[in-house]
Chain A
Amino acid sequence: SQQGEEDPQALSIQEGENATMNCSYKTSINNLQWYRQNSGRGLVHLILIRSNEREKHSGRLRVTLDTSKKSSSLLITASRAADTASYFCATDKDFGNEKLTFGTGTRLTIIP
């Protein structure tokens, strides 16, 4: 079963707007990661946030983590057409677990 569920399943916005995607998970985690997948391609690691962190930034990306609510959000600011992709959250439950468990993904479409 999927560890995470993402919301919304699909999101369409105008270029230049901000896009927010949410992820909920079920068990305690060591870290949470966000990945991007362009159509027909592999997944690309975007950002990792550890369980003891609450917010992290990387360029136009901002990730928050609320372990009490078992949820995370990914904000992409000033969206571009090239941001069109599917975005997945993935949880790493504990050290030595050696696997990431992926969420269901959000399909983001940026309208030029």
Chain B
Amino acid sequence: DTAVSQTPKYLVTQMGNDKSIKCEQNLGHDTMYWYKQDSKKFLKIMFSYNNKELIINETVPNRFSPKSPDKAHLNLHINSLELGDSAVYFCASSPRTSNYGYTFGSGTRLTVV
């Protein structure tokens, strides 16, 4: 199936831990993103990568470090997790050219306790 897949779907962890979320797309898209959706359903861009190169970093704390080993993968590593990091994190991808919709993964629900 052509898709954006992210793992894990659920992640429950204690404050202070370090965790990673993985994302892969097999759509041949050049650009990948991480979005955060809070408890009020607000969606906010965190990072954008184009062909492994970081192009957008929306004032996200440096505890969050994206890594793109190739253009099909964009992983998110979070250090020293805080309660406020609890949210749903979505990976997405799109073609490089404009005027195309994004394809989203199914999300990772992160709960920090």
Segment among A12-20, A60-68, A69-77, A94-102 that sits at the interface with chain B:
A94-102
Q: Tell me if A's interface is mostly helix, strand, loop or mixed.
A: strand
Contact B45 A100 (CB under 8 A): yes
Segment among B12-20, B66-74, B78-86, B98-106 that sits at the interface with chain A:
B98-106
Contact B31 A98 (CB under 8 A): yes
How many Å lie between the Cα of A86 and that of B48 in the bound state? Answer: 24
Knowing A99-B45, A100-B45, say if A45 contacts B102 (CB, 8 Å). Answer: yes
Number of interface residues of B (CB under 8 A): 26
How many Å lie between the Cα of A99 and that of B33 in the bound state? Answer: 8
Q: Which residues of A sit under 8 angstroms from B31, Cβ to Cβ?
A: 98
Number of interface residues of A (CB under 8 A): 26
Q: Which residues of B sit under 8 angstroms from A48, Cβ to Cβ?
A: 99-101
Knowing A2-B42, A98-B50, say if A43 contacts B99 (CB, 8 Å). Answer: no
Q: Does B113 contact A (CB under 8 A)?
A: no
Knowing A41-B106, A99-B45, say if A33 contacts B98 (CB, 8 Å). Answer: no
Instruction: Name B99's closest neighbour in chain A (CB-CB).
Output: A31
Q: Does B27 contact A (CB under 8 A)?
A: no
Knowing A41-B106, A45-B102, A98-B31, say if A105 contacts B90 (CB, 8 Å). Answer: no
A residues adjacent to B (C-beta < 8 A): 2, 30-31, 33, 35, 37, 40-45, 48, 50, 86, 88, 92, 95-96, 98-102, 104-105
